[in-house]
Amino acid sequence: MNLGPHANFIIAAYVIAALVIIGLIVWVELDNRAQRRHLKNLHAQGVTRRSGPTP
Amino acid sequence: MAIIDLANPTRFLNLAHRALPWLIEITGALFVVGLYLVYGAPDDYQQGATVKIMFIHVPSAWLGMFGWLLMSIAALGTLVWRHPLADVAAKAAAPIGASFTFLCLVTGALWGRPMWGTYWVWDARLTSVLILFLMYLGVIALWRTVEDPSRAARAAAILTLVGAINLPIIKFSVDWWNTLHQPASVIRLGGPSIYPTILVPLLVMALAFTLLFVTLHVAAMGNEILRRRVRALMLMQAQSAPGSGE
């Protein structure tokens, strides 16, 4: 594929798009793991939605 | 099942858990097809090969606006019905919308340099999109500043609805003012003005980007629901700790 005299601009646009999209996917995945880890730790300590202080 | 039944965080999480694998596969397949069509698309008679930047610039621009529209609808859900899932939807959409708006600005600049001879001009379309990006950053900052999620949601909802005024300005800026940016060429009266060999890859890429947005949004909403559960449990733990006064 011949991208012509402005190939650098085209390649830069696609590389930046790929980086932004990969960044979003990584952010969502890492956030998911972090929240699940927090929940697991809290459950391990016996803190659940039904373990609140009794009145 | 009524639509309103889906507006339950637990039910939403279950639904998202089942839908996400499908969304990921369909999005991936659409990107493969879209990029294949982009690879085979001919050069434009004026732009040459730089038209290939349009296949990511146009969908990014559309999603930047779509993200804010989604947040505006969610803002109504927050202010009118005070539904927590509306808060979750708005908060989860902001970073994704901001990312696509950023991508729109950067790819536009990279297209503008060889075509216009400059990365940036202060014309109405470019400036209004830059304002959209800054508003996204403002909403994200607001969410992070106010600790109580429901208070943050109400403040962010008001800012979002005020910012929604910018959406028609972005859309019609090329008609209302004399801009360097070209007028609408896909969604316009009289139909698209683009030749099918370029229009078809553009529409497939737009669909792939849109499904990517939806997939990321559903996943981010799930994360936000989990974050609120963690917060609630930590508050519960703090209240039941010795010396907390409970």
Q: Do B236 and A52 touch (CB under 8 A)?
A: yes
CA distance B98 to chain A (A): 11
Does residue B237 belong to any structural domain of this protein? no
Q: Find the Cα–Cα–Cα–Cα dihedral B10, B11, B12, B13, rounded to 10°.
A: 50
Residues B24-62 have pLDDT tens digits of 999 999 999 999 999 999 888 888 899 999 999 999 999
Structure-block tokens of residue B155: 């403040």
Domains in chain B, number: 1
Per the rule left: phi > 0, alpha: psi between -120 and 50, beta: everything else, B82 is left
In DSSP notation, B47-69 reads TBTTHHHHHHHHHHHHHHHHHHH
Structure-block tokens of residue B149: 């999620």
Chain A positions touching B60 (Cβ under 8 A) are: 17
Residue A13 has pLDDT above 60, yes or no: yes
Query: What is the rounded distance in angstroms from the CA atom of residue B243 to the CA atom of residue B205?
Result: 58
* ipTM, interface predicted TM-score of the complex: 0.89
Does residue B200 belong to any structural domain of this protein? no
pLDDT, chain B, mean: 91
State the first-to-last Cα distance of chain A, in angstroms, to the nearest integer. Answer: 72
Does residue B24 belong to any structural domain of this protein? no
Does residue B126 belong to any structural domain of this protein? yes
Give the three-state DSSP class for B44: strand
**Are residues A10 and B50 in contact, defined by beta-carbon separation less than 8 angstroms?**
yes
Reported as a pLDDT band with limits 50, 70 and 90, residue B1 is low
Does residue B164 belong to any structural domain of this protein? yes
Query: Can you give the pTM of this predicted structure?
Result: 0.91
Chain A positions touching B229 (Cβ under 8 A) are: 39, 49
CA distance B104 to chain A (A): 9
Reported as a pLDDT band with limits 50, 70 and 90, residue A46 is confident
Does residue B163 belong to any structural domain of this protein? yes
Residue in this structure with the two tokens 């001919």, named with its chain if needed? B42
For residue B204, which of B21, B35, B23, B20 has the smallest C-alpha distance? B35
**Are residues B43 and B51 in contact, defined by beta-carbon separation less than 8 angstroms?**
yes
Query: What is the rounded distance in angstroms from the CA atom of residue B119 to the CA atom of residue A49?
Result: 53
Per the rule left: phi > 0, alpha: psi between -120 and 50, beta: everything else, A20 is alpha
Range(s) of the domain holding residue B160: 29-39+49-184+208-228
Best of B223, B229, B235 to disrupt the A interface by mutation (most A CBs within 10 Å)?
Answer: B223
Does residue B242 belong to any structural domain of this protein? no
Does residue B8 belong to any structural domain of this protein? no
**Are residues B67 and B93 in contact, defined by beta-carbon separation less than 8 angstroms?**
yes
Residue B186 has pLDDT above 80, yes or no: no
Q: Would you state the pLDDT for residue B2?
A: 59
Give the three-state DSSP class for B243: coil
Residue in this structure with the two tokens 């509306």, named with its chain if needed? B86
Residue in chain B lying closest to A29 (CA): B219
Q: Number of C-alpha atoms within 13 angstroms, CB side, residue B16? A: 23
Residue in chain A lying closest to B110 (CA): A9
Interface of A with B (CB under 8 A): 1-7, 9-10, 12-14, 16-17, 20-21, 23-25, 27-28, 31-32, 35-36, 38-39, 42, 45, 47-49, 51-53
Q: What is the mean pLDDT of residues B119-135?
A: 95
